[in-house]
Amino acid sequence: MNKTKVIQDISAALRNEPTVRALFLSGSYGAGIEDSYSDIDFLAVSRDGPTDEFAALWREAVGRVGEIVLWWDRQAKPMLINAITADWLRIDVEIVTPDQVARRTASGLKALFDHDRVLEALPPAPQNAGPNPARMKWQFEEFIRILGLLSLAIGRGEYLNGITGIFHLRNLLTELLIEETAAPNRGGVLHLNRLISEEQKSLLAALPVPSPTRESVIAANLAYAEAYLPRARRMARKIGVEWPERFEAATRAHLREALAVELPPSAT
């Protein structure tokens, strides 16, 4: 599949539609970091926004480049249409009004056509201000909260749910690692290799994959706690976030009493 031709064909199909004022590439293609596995993300500026009329035009345009086998029409978000063709080309479009696009920045957008020259009026993206302190504080507390729920999984014998908890711990650890590198252009959820360092990859690779047994679930929680807590505390100091000392201490005491489990230290 020639993705350049796909982009050109979809753009040509909409260029002369009076309700469609602009069409941009966004996502990986808009940022110029696409690879052969990237989906194609579009941003469409429609005079009336994400209407049924636009959806019909978009379906016709996508149908020109391949048989549509999946069509999510404004389901996940009211302004988003997702499509997959028979050869598994993923094509997404976000539909905004002229007023809505005016509140965005020009970062990560590449014009295919722009009748009203809206891209020229958009400000550049602000410089990366670093991690969001409120978001990071929530993540620190959420990691500790999930650790505390270990007592429920073990007490009820819910070892399968215990594995689900470890999945959440892994996601939080991964988010912390990405924040450590401050990598620009994060891209979608399927990008990770270019966002973290070799040391961080080795850390993730070495963590255990648990089986649904009491011993395995407990061991995995302790391994993730050992990997996460000291790094998270360092990040908290770096960005000026107060570490949840009392919550951590209460969680340690709770697991010690409930399971005779001692969490690894968070201070380094």
Residue 128 counted as domain residue: no
Quote the CA–CA distance of 103 and 34 in Å, as a whole number: 25
Give per-residue pLDDT as tens, 117-127: 999 999 987 77
Confidence tier at 184 by pLDDT (50, 70, 90): low
Task: Please tell me whether residues 150 and 237 are part of one structural domain.
Answer: yes
Beta partners for residue 84, in sequence order = 70, 90
Mark residue 192 as left, alpha or beta (left: phi above 0; alpha: psi -120 to 50; beta: remaining): alpha
Q: Are 101 and 162 members of one domain?
A: no
Q: Using an 8 Å Cβ cutoff, are 263 and 209 in contact?
A: no
CATH (domain of 29) = 3.30.460.10
Q: What is the dihedral of CA 145, 177, 170, 232, to 10 degrees?
A: -20
230 pLDDT tier (thresholds 50, 70, 90): very high
Q: What is the pLDDT of residue 115?
A: 97
Nearest-CA neighbor of 19 among 43, 41, 50, 40? Answer: 50
pLDDT over threshold 60, residue 189:
no
- Clarify whether residues 106 and 151 are in a common domain: no
Scanning the structure block, which residue is given the tokens 């697991």?
255
Segment 21-33 shows an average pLDDT of 93
Number of domains in the chain: 2
Structural domain boundaries, residue 113: 3-121
For the whole model, what pTM was predicted? 0.78
Confirm whether 231 is domain-assigned. Answer: yes
What percentage of the chain has pLDDT greater than the value 70? Answer: 95
Low-confidence winner among 89-93, 201-205, 226-230, 256-260 (lowest mean pLDDT): 201-205
Mean pLDDT over 117-145 rounds to 90
pLDDT (mean) for 196-218: 93
Mean pLDDT of the 81-105 span: 96
Asked if 7 and 64 count as a contact pair (C-beta separation under 8 A), the reply is: no
